[in-house]
């Protein structure tokens, strides 16, 4: 494969809780070329979120490597990883992860603050991307004053505002109705294609997978199928958004961690301790 942006080799992730062992990823090998919209599909518990967290360097693998742009991310320290994510990665979540006390505009501008971009340029870039997602007229609204679909469009604007090379989306339409799902999927694919960004999308929904250039299916932590999608759903047009409720998030640090802008709290060091003992 010419110039893969992501290379995964022999990736394995075992969680340990007390004496219990969960093999979340068994042996994953995968190459993703720059500019591809790749969908990882699988049922609940198949290891999708674990894989995404490994690709983004949010968790350390038990074994194997993840190379991004040819560079092994496991060689990076937590601080280097946080900087790497600030520079190269955007995230979109099922639960939006917006700051409840901030306006749409302020939420969108967050990654630019972490990149040290000045106020004027931040506002210009945020305005531009809010316009792209059709929400310029909601720039001063708080998340609670917007529908679920609108909130997810703010989430998308935040993920794209700094033009990261890679966007990770974990069940981005999981809380949305059918019409809003179509709108959100089209929007993400369109933005990626416009700027030759790579989108790794995770979902349990095989219909969502039809938007991707390639569909990778995982089961029990292994890839069971990896096929190109010859006829990805067109990514044109826009429509109205619809509603869904959201848990209010108030803590800037928690959000910044959740969206990959800060290094995560060292919570699961115990489970992810090196290696597996009894194999």
* Site residues, ligand ADP (CB under 6 A): 15, 17, 22, 24, 42, 44-50, 268, 271
CA dist list (Å): 156 to 8, 117, 126: 26, 19, 11
- Least distance to ligand ADP, CB of residue 93, Å: 12
- Which DSSP category does 229 fall into? -
- Least distance to Mg ion, CB of residue 203, Å: 9
- Residue number with CB closer to Mg ion (50 or 103): 50
End-to-end alpha carbon distance in the chain: 33
The entry of ligand ADP, Mg ion, none that residue 61 binds, CB within 5 to 8 Å by partner kind:
none
- Least distance to ligand ADP, CB of residue 45, Å: 4
Query: What angle separates helix 119-132 from helix 148-160, to the nearest 10 degrees?
Result: 130
The entry of Mg ion, ligand ADP, none that residue 47 binds, CB within 5 to 8 Å by partner kind:
ligand ADP
- Which DSSP category does 73 fall into? G
- Residue pair 260/56 in contact by the 8 Å Cβ criterion: yes
Considering only the stretches 40-48, 120-128, 143-151, 251-259, report the one whose residues sit in contact with Mg ion under the rule CB under 5 A: 40-48
In the list 7, 49, 95, 147, the residue contacting Mg ion (rule: CB under 5 A) is: 49
The DSSP string of 33-71 is ETT-EEEEE--TTSSHHHHHHHHTTSS--SEEEEEETTE
Residues contributing to the site for Mg ion (CB under 5 A): 48-49
């Amino acid at each position: 494969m010419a110039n893969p942006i992501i290379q995964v080799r022999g990736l394995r992730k075992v969680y340990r809780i007390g004496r219990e062992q969960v093999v979340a990823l068994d042996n994953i090998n995968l190459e993703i070329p720059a500019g591809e919209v790749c969908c990882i599909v699988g049922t609940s518990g198949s290891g999708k979120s674990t894989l995404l967290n490994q690709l983004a360097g949010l968790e350390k693998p038990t074994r194997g490597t993840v190379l991004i742009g040819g560079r092994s991310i496991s060689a990076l320290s937590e601080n280097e990883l946080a900087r790497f994510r600030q520079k190269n990665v955007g995230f979109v979540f099922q639960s939006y992860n917006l700051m409840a006390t901030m306006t749409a505009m302020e939420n969108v501008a967050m990654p630019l603050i972490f990149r040290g971009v000045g106020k004027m340029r931040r506002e210009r870039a945020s305005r531009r991307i809010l316009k792209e997602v059709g929400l310029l007229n909601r720039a001063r609204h708080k998340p609670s004053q917007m529908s679920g679909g609108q909130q997810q469009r703010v989430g998308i604007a935040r993920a794209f505002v700094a033009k990261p090379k890679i966007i990770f989306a974990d069940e981005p339409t999981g809380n949305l109705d059918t019409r809003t799902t179509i709108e959100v999927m089209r929007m993400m694919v369109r933005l990626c294609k416009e700027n030759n960004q790579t989108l790794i999308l995770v979902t349990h929904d095989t219909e969502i997978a039809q938007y991707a250039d390639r569909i990778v299916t995982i089961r029990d932590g292994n890839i069971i199928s990896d096929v190109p999608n010859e006829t990805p759903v067109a990514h044109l047009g826009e429509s109205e958004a619809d509603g869904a409720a959201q848990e209010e998030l108030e803590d800037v640090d928690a959000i910044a961690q959740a969206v990959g802008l800060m290094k995560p709290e060292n919570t699961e060091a115990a489970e992810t301790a090196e290696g597996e003992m009894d194999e």
